[in-house]
Structure 1
């Protein structure tokens, strides 16, 4: 189902392409969490998982040794 006109979709895609990589990553993660239902229930999960994705597992474990996130 697609209720977006081709012109509106083109404008939206161009706006997304102009975003810096970290903003695109953040939007993608927020959408993924919204779809999974985590965002509204546990907002702090979004932040810590985003940090983990940006730092990578090894550095994340060194910086946040007390935080354990199951895959």
Structure 2
């Protein structure tokens, strides 16, 4: 008894996921420091929050290490 497998038909190549290791989305960073996303945005604009990285004009990410360092610096 022979088992044959059918080849998989791929109509479109899989798109690579954009994964940035060690970088947080604004929602993840806001949740980490306990504020809302709009509040985090305001903090970023005012220069009072954790350091942010603008990957494009519309994509902002936060370093996990920077968020942790900022969070520990806020504890008095």
Structure whose residues are more often helix by fraction = 1
Q: One fold, TM greater than 0.5?
A: no
Using CA pairs below 8 Å that are at least 6 residues apart, which structure has the higher relative contact order?
2
Query: Which is greater in Rg?
Result: 2
**TM-score (ref. length: structure 2):** 0.28
